[in-house]
Structure 1
């Protein structure tokens, strides 16, 4: 345990905690949008369960690092001349998660802009159990991607003095726990802000589409997909995507600050908070 209190270990802990929080942004956005369709009293419960599931999945995957790394081995190789590759467990999970995220994001945008209003009793998509199932499925993919990134960071860095594999596991687990606690503290305000501003919701869903494309590229890269003899699919650096996300949010915050208006905002379907605020406003008027 003394290893955890060295300067190098504390720097590694801070770095991994920051990384886990950054990688958890897409998780919080997805949680905010899915939980925003639930009844107001169920929303905090869905967010808590979602983030706790994320923590559990990440820790389980850490203890199964040997199994996770074993999934890197290809179990089906193919070569059609113009297209070749080798499908592995890692590539299948990441690629499938990207497809699911693209499908879910596009479906949510359609529902919010053109879908029919859903009653709070009738639709399964508004139930807590259905929301938790969606959150759990995507958490598996997010957790898998997060752990692969953290392992890559730890493997590529020069290990601190006396910092063995056991110490690395302990620091990664501690970083995961701290990051989830931080996200639990901010998930409520972030969800409220996202669900009160339609443009932020659409931006959030657009970000999830970007993350889905990134996962598709990463899954293709892990499968070593190659077109012809020269063109191999490469993963998209996460830094580019997160820069685009933060820059877009910064621009939108400026727009919200500069263009405050008393007119009613655009109302998206299944936006419970905005519907409630408009009802209260109508009653007051």
Structure 2
């Protein structure tokens, strides 16, 4: 109890908490985009349930990893050397997760551009995935993003209560944002392609970091924000054009 009171009275601890919460929320965006795109492939009645399960699994994975900080630290220790480069378990997990994201995003883009002739109805309705398959894929990426998130937390502070609070707050934000984000992506087909492009970029970033090439997250999210802004302007332009055409038709 004294330890917690000391943390509560420390301005440094509050600054660390605020910084870590922001970092965890930003890192959670990647996870949330993937969950939104994947669950939108399910029947409508199962989407909200799948999103809740996916985000809940992310919470349990993060809290479970926090309870084994000593193990997490060991994940960054080199375990194998290939081509004069040492790889840790974290590196290999990031590379595997990045490859999975590249495969998944590329497959979704291919389906959007060239749907299978034998499945035209399911492709247009967006129902192309089984519930168990969706949960399995979400669980795999939850693990990758959770490890990245917890390693970031361990690197920013040594206080476990701060890490736990930051994780809880970030996952609560994900829960609140999941439904609006998924609905927005589902209602705007062009945004789906943009989000898939984000996943390809995130996948490449994970692979690069797995091979030891540090990519500043600020550059990644600045590029995502710029692309999202341009797409937002395009959406406003399309809506204005549609309103103008409708007005001319009525006249």
TM-score by length of 1: 0.77
**Paired residue total:** 233
1:255 aligns with 2:246: no
Q: Is residue 122–residue 128 contact of structure 2 (8 Å, CA) maintained in 1?
A: no
Matching residue of 1:173: 164
Pick from 70, 77, 84 the counterpart of residue 66 of structure 1. 70
Pick from 183, 189, 208 the counterpart of residue 180 of structure 2. 189
1:84 aligns with 2:84: yes
CA distance in 2, matches of 1:148, 1:115: 39
1:235 aligns with 2:214: yes
CA distance in 1, matches of 2:209, 2:198: 16
- Deviation readout 1:231-252 (Å, 9 max, x if unpaired): xxx2211110000001111111
- Deviation readout 1:34-91 (Å, 9 max, x if unpaired): 010111111111111111111111111111111111122222224xxxx421222111
* Deviation for aligned residue 1:125: 5.2
Matching residue of 1:75: 79
Unaligned runs of 5+ in 1: 155-164, 222-233, 264-285
1:77-226 equivalent positions in 2, closer than 5 A: 77-78=81-82, 83-116=83-116, 117=120, 119=122, 126-154=129-157, 165=158, 168-221=159-212
Q: Is residue 16–residue 156 contact of structure 2 (8 Å, CA) maintained in 1?
A: no
Matching residue of 1:2: 5
Matching residue of 1:272: none
1:246 aligns with 2:249: no
Q: Give the 3-state SS of the residue equivalent to 1:42 in structure 2.
A: helix
CA distance in 2, matches of 1:99, 1:180: 25
Closer, same or farther: CA 118–92 of 1 in aligned 2, 3 Å: farther
Unaligned runs of 5+ in 2: 244-251
Q: Give the 3-state SS of the residue equivalent to 2:81 in structure 1.
A: strand
* Deviation for aligned residue 1:146: 1.2
Pick from 51, 58, 61 the counterpart of residue 57 of structure 1. 61
